[in-house]
Protein backbone atom coordinates (compact mmCIF):
# COMPACT_ATOMS: atom_id res chain seq x y z
CA UNK A 1 0.00 0.00 0.00
CA UNK A 2 2.82 2.38 0.91
CA UNK A 3 4.60 1.65 -2.38
CA UNK A 4 1.45 2.52 -4.34
CA UNK A 5 1.13 5.81 -2.42
CA UNK A 6 4.75 6.75 -3.17
CA UNK A 7 4.36 5.90 -6.85
CA UNK A 8 1.18 7.98 -7.21
CA UNK A 9 2.76 10.92 -5.35
CA UNK A 10 5.82 10.86 -7.64
CA UNK A 11 3.60 10.78 -10.72
CA UNK A 12 1.52 13.73 -9.47
CA UNK A 13 4.67 15.79 -8.84
CA UNK A 14 5.95 15.01 -12.34
CA UNK A 15 2.68 16.23 -13.85
CA UNK A 16 2.78 19.47 -11.80
CA UNK A 17 6.29 20.33 -12.97
CA UNK A 18 6.22 23.09 -15.58
CA UNK A 19 8.60 23.24 -18.53
CA UNK A 20 10.91 26.28 -18.45
CA UNK A 21 11.60 25.97 -22.20
CA UNK A 22 8.29 24.85 -23.69
CA UNK A 23 8.21 25.20 -27.49
CA UNK A 24 4.98 25.88 -29.35
CA UNK A 25 3.91 26.76 -32.87
CA UNK A 26 0.54 28.21 -33.83
CA UNK A 27 -1.05 30.30 -36.57
CA UNK A 28 -1.45 34.06 -36.25
CA UNK A 29 -3.24 36.10 -38.93
CA UNK A 30 -1.38 39.05 -40.39
CA UNK A 31 0.18 40.28 -43.63
CA UNK A 32 3.34 42.33 -43.49
CA UNK A 33 6.51 43.47 -41.74
CA UNK A 34 4.47 45.86 -39.58
CA UNK A 35 2.35 42.91 -38.45
CA UNK A 36 5.48 40.89 -37.70
CA UNK A 37 6.89 43.61 -35.44
CA UNK A 38 3.55 44.14 -33.67
CA UNK A 39 2.88 40.41 -33.15
CA UNK A 40 6.37 39.65 -31.84
CA UNK A 41 6.31 42.70 -29.55
CA UNK A 42 2.96 41.59 -28.12
CA UNK A 43 4.32 38.10 -27.45
CA UNK A 44 7.42 39.48 -25.72
CA UNK A 45 5.20 41.68 -23.53
CA UNK A 46 4.13 38.51 -21.69
CA UNK A 47 6.41 37.68 -18.77
CA UNK A 48 7.97 34.27 -19.39
CA UNK A 49 8.26 34.48 -23.19
CA UNK A 50 11.86 33.71 -24.12
CA UNK A 51 11.58 33.64 -27.91
CA UNK A 52 8.90 34.75 -30.38
CA UNK A 53 9.25 34.62 -34.16
CA UNK A 54 6.36 35.11 -36.61
CA UNK A 55 6.79 34.00 -40.23
CA UNK A 56 5.10 36.37 -42.69
CA UNK A 57 4.69 33.77 -45.46
CA UNK A 58 3.34 30.87 -43.39
CA UNK A 59 1.66 32.92 -40.62
CA UNK A 60 3.26 30.49 -38.13
CA UNK A 61 4.34 31.81 -34.74
CA UNK A 62 7.10 29.91 -32.93
CA UNK A 63 7.49 30.66 -29.24
CA UNK A 64 9.53 29.39 -26.33
CA UNK A 65 7.93 30.07 -22.96
CA UNK A 66 8.62 29.41 -19.31
CA UNK A 67 5.42 27.66 -18.25
CA UNK A 68 6.12 28.58 -14.63
CA UNK A 69 5.53 32.24 -15.59
CA UNK A 70 2.93 32.13 -18.38
CA UNK A 71 0.78 29.91 -20.54
CA UNK A 72 0.36 29.66 -24.28
CA UNK A 73 -3.12 31.15 -23.81
CA UNK A 74 -1.53 34.25 -22.23
CA UNK A 75 0.57 34.74 -25.37
CA UNK A 76 -2.40 34.27 -27.72
CA UNK A 77 -4.48 36.70 -25.66
CA UNK A 78 -1.76 39.38 -25.83
CA UNK A 79 -1.59 38.96 -29.61
CA UNK A 80 -5.38 39.22 -29.96
CA UNK A 81 -5.40 42.42 -27.90
CA UNK A 82 -3.31 44.17 -30.57
CA UNK A 83 -5.50 43.08 -33.49
CA UNK A 84 -4.41 39.65 -34.69
CA UNK A 85 -6.49 36.46 -34.55
CA UNK A 86 -5.28 33.00 -33.56
CA UNK A 87 -7.43 29.89 -33.81
CA UNK A 88 -8.13 29.96 -30.10
CA UNK A 89 -8.36 33.70 -29.35
CA UNK A 90 -9.94 36.31 -31.65
CA UNK A 91 -9.47 40.06 -31.52
CA UNK A 92 -12.44 42.38 -31.27
CA UNK A 93 -13.87 44.08 -34.33
CA UNK A 94 -12.99 47.49 -32.85
CA UNK A 95 -9.30 46.62 -32.42
CA UNK A 96 -9.11 44.96 -35.85
CA UNK A 97 -10.67 48.05 -37.48
CA UNK A 98 -7.83 50.22 -36.11
CA UNK A 99 -5.12 48.21 -37.93
CA UNK A 100 -3.35 49.90 -40.83
CA UNK A 101 -4.95 49.00 -44.17
CA UNK A 102 -2.01 46.80 -45.25
CA UNK A 103 -2.32 44.84 -41.99
CA UNK A 104 -5.99 43.92 -42.41
CA UNK A 105 -6.16 40.21 -43.17
CA UNK A 106 -9.18 38.18 -44.23
CA UNK A 107 -10.98 37.22 -41.02
CA UNK A 108 -12.53 33.78 -40.74
- Taking the C-alpha atoms of residue 71 and residue 48, their distance in angstroms, rounded to an integer, is 8
- Taking the C-alpha atoms of residue 75 and residue 61, their distance in angstroms, rounded to an integer, is 11
* pLDDT tens per residue across all 108 residues of the chain: 554 445 545 554 555 678 999 999 999 999 999 999 999 999 999 999 999 999 999 999 999 999 999 999 999 999 999 999 999 999 999 999 999 999 999 997
Torsion of CA 83, 87, 92, 93, to 10 degrees: 90
Domains of the chain: residue spans and CATH: 20-103 (3.30.70.100)
pLDDT at residue 15, as a whole number: 52
Q: What is the pTM of this model?
A: 0.83
Residue 30 phi/psi, 5-degree rounding, is 175, 180
Amino acid sequence: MMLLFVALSAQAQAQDKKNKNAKYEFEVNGNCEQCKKRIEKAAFSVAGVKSAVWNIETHEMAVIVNEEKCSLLDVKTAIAKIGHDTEEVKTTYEVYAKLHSCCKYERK
